[in-house]
Chain A
Amino acid sequence: MKKIYFSFVFLLLTIVLIACGGNGATESGEEAEEVVTVGDNIEGASELTFWTFAGTHADFFEDAAIRWNEEFPDNPIQFTAETYPFDQMHNNLTLALQSGQGAPDMVDIEIARFPNFLQGEIQLEPLNDLIEPEIDNFITERLDMYSHEGQYYGAPTHLGATVVYYNTAIMEEAGVDIDEIITWDDYVEAGIQVTENTGVPMTTIAENWYGIWPFVRQSGSDFFDDNGDLTLDSAENIEALQFVTDLVIEHEIADVTPGGHYHSEEFFGFMNDGGQASLIAPTFYMNEFMVNMEDLDGNIEMRPLPEWPGSDTRSVAMGGTGTTVTNQAEDVELAKDFLAYAKLTEEGNIALWTQLGFDPPRWDVWDSEEVREDNDFYRYFHDDIFDILLDIRDDVVGVHMSPYTPDVLEEIDSNIMFNVLRQQSQTPEEALQQAAESIRAIMD
């Protein structure tokens, strides 16, 4: 008896030691990094809170709130935008929605996390009544990425069409005309020419999903089919990853990205110093060029993806954040109206381009005067960005999302790309099959 009692006390003691013990990093940073408030001096203004992980998004909504209060003086809002670190914001949101309290009125959810919030009883408000009347003006593939059973839950931030950015200085030195790169075979050939003549790789491959998903999607396949079944290890996907692997191993025209992905400090420095001749990344990456790679000003031109044999797809909508309204919003209608005003209207879509440099998900503004007006992006790149996009408008595809998409992305991040490209310890087929197996185990 005494022993049992003693063991119990000891178990409690262990729990205390496990629970306490000074955990600086996990406890700190509960507070938002930055808080912006608009309209706090207006009497009777309705309060709206918004969480995001990107300071630029907070600025974007701040501006929209100022315009809203000017335009609708009868229905003013007191808008508060709180910026948190990426992980923390999504975790807080999970817990707040799970427990039914503490969630903001509006919140940004990143695409890779979005499926987590479409499970169980969905705690987000559908936006169909706002989107459907205007749906013909949208590239609907982007809206579908934030939808579940016909309900749209997220207002997109951009189309995120994947393109190829060419460093024209390197291309000229290598004697390659980028307008003659029509197919991926041409791209490989140009890559060989670039590597031989300049010594820098044609591109580098990210070790996260940016290094595989665009190719998989362009080939017409995806990680899940229309029924939600896992197709990660399908023949098409193996072929797509084989193509990427060949760029590195067989043709030797590509390396693994320094720092592992396109948003690392290591990569910014590498790219800025002319470390690679081209970059396959979505249009929203323009902003990274402007902010982190000043030396490349005027030397970058973008083109659609080269053609994949047997596929019409010229671009893939990648990444992206959907802004949502939670069911804990005090005034759901007001939150939805403001969200629509900020991001779904023509004016809002124009602002997405002029303020953030994102390709608006509404294609009907691509031709508008405001979008075509001269700005920093046109000066850094070239002024026919939207002509290129209009040209391929019907050939842009989105991706299929499933509740298990985050598991696939995790496998890609930690196992597939690492084993195939960096370690070269597995063939694309082996890596994809192994990953598919462990995900099927979760899905059962």
Chain B
Amino acid sequence: MGQEMKSNIYKGPNRLLTFLNSKKVAPYVFIFPFIISFTLLTFYPTIQAFVMSFQRILPGQTEFVGLSNYRRILNPTFYQAFQNTTTYVILTCVILVTVPIFLAAMLNSKFAKFSTFYRASLFIPSLASIIVAGTVFRLLFGETGSSFANQVIGWFGVEPIQWQYTSWSAMFLMVILSSWRWMGVNVMYYLAALQNVPLELYESADIDGANVFQKFFYVTVPHLKPIITFVTTISIINGFRMFEESYVFWETNSPGNIGLSMIGYMYTQGVQRNDMGFGAALGVIIILIIFVISIIQLNLTGAFKRGDE
């Protein structure tokens, strides 16, 4: 009797638990919280932005205006923003994908001294507030002859540069700020990947008489390939999303728009100028650009292929 009671009591929960634990259902249970937050906080706003991109939105007077927002996008300011952002993406990708590999390899080598110290030093910038970091960079690269950067180039006999007012140096400032900030994070990714490279491969390479560089290019790099693909992808996406790197130097109006990024353009038009429809249209275009470029990049690196083909 007593035993029967017990089994009766636990029958219900058991069934539920079994259901939730079943191989088919369990995965969905685990990703359920993410799906909810994704749908509410990301997917719904994205759809809404898509709808808004066909509207003219003013308090109490929202109306559909067809493609007029998209037609307005093709203007010189947008081209400038697109050009700036693309240049920025290319430069940051080249720097942030390649340099950290070498740094990680060096830090990982058994000859490196104080490697913990260097790891920490490289990583700390990513924890710094970009507003604070940007202020420091702005002062380092001031326009007067007494600013740090101008003093340094002065030792080599170079005339002071108006860092924040020239097109090439503006790009340089944004790229250097971003590189300084994210270098350590990418080094960490690579360092983690390096731990998975089997030591036997290096040993056998040694036996075959490979030198340091051959070991690096024929053993280390192939093993890092998945991570390289990953770092490239996030570098591209982060590059196209660039906003703060420009904001800290010029806020929203850079001279001659030399620091204008696509997101910056979206922000000034959509939020500051309260032209949400146009801002939304820009956002949709930016998503498409990133999507297409990521597809191309992942196809080229073979990330979509299965297995080890």
Taking Cβ atoms with an 8 Å cutoff, the residues of A that contact B are: 7, 10-12, 14-21, 23-26, 28, 87, 90-91, 94-95, 97-98, 100, 113, 116-117, 119-123, 207, 258-260, 266, 406-407, 410, 413-415, 418-419, 422-423, 438, 441-442
Are the CB atoms of B287 and A94 closer together than 8 Å? no
Q: How far is the CB of A204 from chain B (nearest CB, A)?
A: 13
List B residues 238-270 near A (Cβ within 8 Å). Answer: 238, 240-241, 243-244, 247-248, 251-257, 260, 268
Are the CB atoms of A14 and B237 closer together than 8 Å? yes
Within the assembled complex, what's the spacing in Å between the Cα atoms of A10 and B303? Answer: 12
Are the CB atoms of B165 and A14 closer together than 8 Å? no
- In the complex, which of the residues A16, A18, A207, A259 contacts B38, with contact meaning CB atoms closer than 8 Å? A16
Are the CB atoms of A258 and B59 closer together than 8 Å? no
Closest to B243 in A: A26
Q: Does B77 contact A (CB under 8 A)?
A: yes
Are the CB atoms of B131 and A94 closer together than 8 Å? no
16 interchain pairs, CB-CB under 8 A: A18-B286, A18-B287, A20-B42, A91-B271, A94-B271, A97-B59, A98-B59, A98-B274, A113-B272, A259-B143, A266-B144, A407-B273, A410-B268, A418-B165, A438-B75, A438-B76
Q: How far is the CB of A417 from chain B (nearest CB, A)?
A: 8
Within the assembled complex, what's the spacing in Å between the Cα atoms of A116 and B276? Answer: 12
**In the complex, which residues of chain B have a beta carbon less than 8 angstroms from the beta carbon of A260?**
255
Question: Could you list 18 further interchain pairs (A-B, Cβ under 8 angstroms) beyond the known A18-B287, A119-B59?
Answer: A10-B291, A18-B237, A18-B240, A18-B241, A19-B42, A21-B238, A87-B251, A87-B272, A98-B57, A113-B272, A120-B60, A121-B59, A258-B144, A266-B144, A414-B253, A422-B255, A423-B256, A438-B77
Are the CB atoms of B256 and A414 closer together than 8 Å? yes
- In the complex, which of the residues A18, A20, A119, A414 contacts B257, with contact meaning CB atoms closer than 8 Å? A414
Q: How far is the CB of B211 from chain A (nearest CB, A)?
A: 39
Q: Residues 212-256 of chain B: 1 if any A CB is under 8 Å from the residue's CB, otherwise 0?
A: 000000000000000000000110011011011001100111111
| Main SS class of interface, A | helix
Closest to A207 in B: B255
Are the CB atoms of B287 and A120 closer together than 8 Å? no
Are the CB atoms of B58 and A26 closer together than 8 Å? no
**In the complex, which residues of chain B have a beta carbon less than 8 angstroms from the beta carbon of A19?**
41-42, 46
Q: How far is the CB of A83 from chain B (nearest CB, A)?
A: 17
**In the complex, which residues of chain B have a beta carbon less than 8 angstroms from the beta carbon of A21?**
234, 237-238, 241
Within the assembled complex, what's the spacing in Å between the Cα atoms of A26 and B242? Answer: 12
Within the assembled complex, what's the spacing in Å between the Cα atoms of A415 and B80? Answer: 12
Closest to A124 in B: B59
**In the complex, which residues of chain A have a beta carbon less than 8 angstroms from the beta carbon of B129?**
24-25, 28
**In the complex, which residues of chain B have a beta carbon less than 8 angstroms from the beta carbon of A113?**
272
Within the assembled complex, what's the spacing in Å between the Cα atoms of A98 and B233? Answer: 36
Q: How far is the CB of B70 from chain A (nearest CB, A)?
A: 14
**In the complex, which residues of chain A have a beta carbon less than 8 angstroms from the beta carbon of B162?**
422
Within the assembled complex, what's the spacing in Å between the Cα atoms of A113 and B274? Answer: 10
Assess A25 versus B131: contact at CB under 8 Å? Given A18-B290, A258-B144: yes
- In the complex, which of the residues B59, B130, B165, B260 contacts A25, with contact meaning CB atoms closer than 8 Å? B130
Q: How far is the CB of B142 from chain A (nearest CB, A)?
A: 7
**In the complex, which residues of chain A have a beta carbon less than 8 angstroms from the beta carbon of B276?**
98
**In the complex, which residues of chain A have a beta carbon less than 8 angstroms from the beta carbon of B46?**
15, 19
Are the CB atoms of A415 and B247 closer together than 8 Å? no
Are the CB atoms of B253 and A15 closer together than 8 Å? no
- In the complex, which of the residues A24, A414, A441 contacts B254, with contact meaning CB atoms closer than 8 Å? A414
Within the assembled complex, what's the spacing in Å between the Cα atoms of A266 and B41? Answer: 42
Within the assembled complex, what's the spacing in Å between the Cα atoms of A54 and B75? Answer: 35
